[in-house]
Amino acid sequence: MELATAENGWVNTIASSNPEAIAQARHILQSVHYCSLSTCSADGFPWVSPVFFTYDEQLNFYWSSAIASRHSQNLYANNGRMAIAVYNSSVEEGKGQGIYFYGTAAELEPTRVEAVMQLLFKRSGRVLPRTAEDYLNDSPRRIYHFQPTEAWVTGDRLPIGNQLVDTKIQVNLATFSAPS
Protein backbone atom coordinates (compact mmCIF):
# COMPACT_ATOMS: atom_id res chain seq x y z
CA MET A 1 0.00 0.00 0.00
CA GLU A 2 1.32 3.40 -0.94
CA LEU A 3 0.49 7.06 -1.49
CA ALA A 4 0.13 8.48 -5.01
CA THR A 5 3.52 9.11 -6.65
CA ALA A 6 4.84 9.46 -10.18
CA GLU A 7 6.38 5.99 -9.84
CA ASN A 8 2.95 4.35 -9.32
CA GLY A 9 1.08 6.46 -11.87
CA TRP A 10 -0.34 8.81 -9.19
CA VAL A 11 -2.53 6.07 -7.67
CA ASN A 12 -3.12 6.06 -3.92
CA THR A 13 -3.67 2.51 -2.63
CA ILE A 14 -3.51 3.38 1.09
CA ALA A 15 -6.97 4.99 1.05
CA SER A 16 -8.66 2.14 -0.87
CA SER A 17 -11.17 1.50 1.93
CA ASN A 18 -11.39 5.12 3.12
CA PRO A 19 -15.07 5.89 3.94
CA GLU A 20 -14.80 9.36 2.34
CA ALA A 21 -13.49 7.91 -0.94
CA ILE A 22 -16.21 5.23 -0.91
CA ALA A 23 -18.89 7.88 -0.20
CA GLN A 24 -17.57 9.99 -3.08
CA ALA A 25 -17.74 7.00 -5.44
CA ARG A 26 -21.30 6.17 -4.32
CA HIS A 27 -22.40 9.79 -4.80
CA ILE A 28 -21.03 9.84 -8.36
CA LEU A 29 -22.85 6.61 -9.25
CA GLN A 30 -26.14 7.89 -7.81
CA SER A 31 -26.04 11.31 -9.42
CA VAL A 32 -24.67 10.61 -12.91
CA HIS A 33 -26.81 8.62 -15.37
CA TYR A 34 -24.40 8.30 -18.29
CA CYS A 35 -21.07 6.56 -18.43
CA SER A 36 -18.41 6.35 -21.10
CA LEU A 37 -17.65 2.84 -22.31
CA SER A 38 -14.08 2.39 -23.48
CA THR A 39 -13.51 -0.54 -25.82
CA CYS A 40 -10.89 -1.56 -28.34
CA SER A 41 -11.15 -3.39 -31.65
CA ALA A 42 -9.29 -6.63 -32.24
CA ASP A 43 -6.70 -4.68 -34.27
CA GLY A 44 -6.11 -2.11 -31.53
CA PHE A 45 -8.33 0.86 -32.41
CA PRO A 46 -9.91 2.45 -29.31
CA TRP A 47 -13.53 3.58 -29.17
CA VAL A 48 -15.48 5.51 -26.51
CA SER A 49 -19.28 5.54 -26.31
CA PRO A 50 -21.53 7.41 -23.86
CA VAL A 51 -24.50 5.29 -22.72
CA PHE A 52 -27.30 5.56 -20.19
CA PHE A 53 -26.63 2.93 -17.52
CA THR A 54 -27.93 1.40 -14.34
CA TYR A 55 -26.32 -0.84 -11.74
CA ASP A 56 -27.34 -3.35 -9.12
CA GLU A 57 -26.36 -3.84 -5.48
CA GLN A 58 -23.39 -6.04 -6.49
CA LEU A 59 -22.03 -3.14 -8.58
CA ASN A 60 -22.78 -4.78 -11.94
CA PHE A 61 -23.50 -2.26 -14.70
CA TYR A 62 -26.19 -2.61 -17.40
CA TRP A 63 -27.05 -0.74 -20.61
CA SER A 64 -28.76 -1.49 -23.90
CA SER A 65 -27.06 -1.12 -27.26
CA ALA A 66 -27.31 -2.26 -30.83
CA ILE A 67 -25.46 -5.50 -31.51
CA ALA A 68 -23.88 -3.94 -34.62
CA SER A 69 -22.61 -0.82 -32.80
CA ARG A 70 -18.85 -0.44 -32.73
CA HIS A 71 -18.56 -0.75 -28.94
CA SER A 72 -20.66 -3.94 -28.91
CA GLN A 73 -18.58 -5.44 -31.72
CA ASN A 74 -15.41 -4.53 -29.83
CA LEU A 75 -16.69 -6.43 -26.79
CA TYR A 76 -17.27 -9.55 -28.89
CA ALA A 77 -13.77 -9.22 -30.44
CA ASN A 78 -11.91 -8.77 -27.12
CA ASN A 79 -13.49 -11.25 -24.71
CA GLY A 80 -15.53 -8.41 -23.20
CA ARG A 81 -12.53 -6.46 -21.85
CA MET A 82 -13.41 -2.82 -21.32
CA ALA A 83 -13.24 0.19 -19.05
CA ILE A 84 -15.98 2.55 -17.84
CA ALA A 85 -15.73 6.14 -16.62
CA VAL A 86 -18.60 7.81 -14.75
CA TYR A 87 -18.24 11.57 -14.26
CA ASN A 88 -20.15 14.84 -14.42
CA SER A 89 -18.88 16.71 -17.49
CA SER A 90 -20.64 19.97 -16.62
CA VAL A 91 -18.39 21.09 -13.76
CA GLU A 92 -15.64 23.68 -14.16
CA GLU A 93 -12.03 22.72 -14.80
CA GLY A 94 -10.28 21.40 -11.72
CA LYS A 95 -13.53 20.43 -9.97
CA GLY A 96 -14.19 17.15 -11.78
CA GLN A 97 -14.75 13.91 -9.91
CA GLY A 98 -15.12 10.51 -11.45
CA ILE A 99 -15.10 6.83 -10.81
CA TYR A 100 -13.30 4.50 -13.18
CA PHE A 101 -13.71 0.78 -13.66
CA TYR A 102 -11.94 -2.00 -15.48
CA GLY A 103 -13.59 -5.38 -16.05
CA THR A 104 -15.48 -7.49 -18.54
CA ALA A 105 -18.84 -7.25 -20.26
CA ALA A 106 -21.10 -9.57 -22.21
CA GLU A 107 -24.66 -9.87 -23.40
CA LEU A 108 -27.00 -10.33 -20.47
CA GLU A 109 -28.36 -13.83 -19.97
CA PRO A 110 -31.88 -14.04 -21.51
CA THR A 111 -33.44 -15.14 -18.21
CA ARG A 112 -32.33 -11.87 -16.55
CA VAL A 113 -33.46 -9.42 -19.24
CA GLU A 114 -36.88 -8.64 -17.73
CA ALA A 115 -35.46 -7.87 -14.27
CA VAL A 116 -32.70 -5.65 -15.64
CA MET A 117 -35.17 -3.82 -17.87
CA GLN A 118 -36.99 -2.85 -14.67
CA LEU A 119 -33.71 -1.47 -13.22
CA LEU A 120 -33.20 0.59 -16.38
CA PHE A 121 -36.80 1.89 -16.29
CA LYS A 122 -36.51 2.75 -12.59
CA ARG A 123 -33.29 4.71 -13.12
CA SER A 124 -34.71 6.57 -16.13
CA GLY A 125 -37.87 7.45 -14.23
CA ARG A 126 -40.13 6.18 -16.99
CA VAL A 127 -41.55 2.95 -18.32
CA LEU A 128 -41.12 2.44 -22.03
CA PRO A 129 -43.41 0.30 -24.19
CA ARG A 130 -40.86 -2.50 -24.39
CA THR A 131 -40.77 -6.15 -23.43
CA ALA A 132 -37.94 -8.61 -22.94
CA GLU A 133 -38.50 -9.76 -26.55
CA ASP A 134 -37.27 -6.35 -27.68
CA TYR A 135 -33.78 -7.43 -26.55
CA LEU A 136 -33.80 -11.12 -27.48
CA ASN A 137 -33.81 -13.41 -30.52
CA ASP A 138 -33.97 -11.41 -33.79
CA SER A 139 -33.88 -8.00 -32.11
CA PRO A 140 -31.02 -5.72 -33.24
CA ARG A 141 -30.45 -4.67 -29.59
CA ARG A 142 -29.22 -6.42 -26.47
CA ILE A 143 -28.81 -5.56 -22.83
CA TYR A 144 -25.19 -5.82 -21.73
CA HIS A 145 -23.76 -6.66 -18.32
CA PHE A 146 -20.41 -5.36 -17.01
CA GLN A 147 -18.67 -6.77 -13.96
CA PRO A 148 -15.83 -4.62 -12.61
CA THR A 149 -12.61 -6.19 -11.42
CA GLU A 150 -10.84 -2.94 -10.49
CA ALA A 151 -12.04 0.56 -9.55
CA TRP A 152 -10.58 4.00 -8.88
CA VAL A 153 -12.09 7.31 -7.75
CA THR A 154 -10.72 10.82 -8.23
CA GLY A 155 -8.15 11.67 -5.58
CA ASP A 156 -6.47 14.89 -4.55
CA ARG A 157 -4.76 17.29 -6.92
CA LEU A 158 -1.14 17.45 -5.75
CA PRO A 159 1.07 20.51 -6.27
CA ILE A 160 4.23 19.44 -8.09
CA GLY A 161 6.38 22.48 -8.88
CA ASN A 162 4.05 24.99 -10.54
CA GLN A 163 1.65 22.26 -11.72
CA LEU A 164 -1.26 20.36 -10.17
CA VAL A 165 -1.26 16.62 -10.77
CA ASP A 166 -4.52 14.65 -10.64
CA THR A 167 -4.43 11.46 -8.59
CA LYS A 168 -6.68 8.43 -8.27
CA ILE A 169 -7.57 6.34 -5.23
CA GLN A 170 -7.79 2.63 -5.94
CA VAL A 171 -11.09 1.44 -4.47
CA ASN A 172 -11.29 -1.92 -2.72
CA LEU A 173 -14.25 -3.55 -4.49
CA ALA A 174 -14.73 -5.96 -1.58
CA THR A 175 -15.66 -3.03 0.68
CA PHE A 176 -17.51 -0.99 -1.95
CA SER A 177 -21.18 -1.80 -2.24
CA ALA A 178 -23.32 0.06 -4.75
CA PRO A 179 -25.56 2.85 -3.49
CA SER A 180 -29.26 2.07 -3.36
- The predicted-structure confidence for 47-56, as pLDDT tens digits, reads as follows 999 999 999 9
Which CATH number characterizes residue 131's domain?
A: 2.30.110.10
Domain membership flag for residue 178:
no
Termini Cα distance of the chain = 30
Q: Could you tell me the residue range of the domain that residue 12 belongs to? A: 6-171
- The predicted-structure confidence for 56-94, as pLDDT tens digits, reads as follows 989 999 999 999 999 999 999 999 999 999 998 888 887
CA distance readout (Å), 130 to 32, 86, 110, 133: 24, 26, 15, 8
Q: How many domains does the chain have?
A: 1
Domain membership flag for residue 1:
no
pTM of the predicted model as reported, rounded to 2 decimal places:
0.92
Domain membership flag for residue 180:
no
Is residue 107 within 8 A of residue 49, CB to CB? The reply is: no
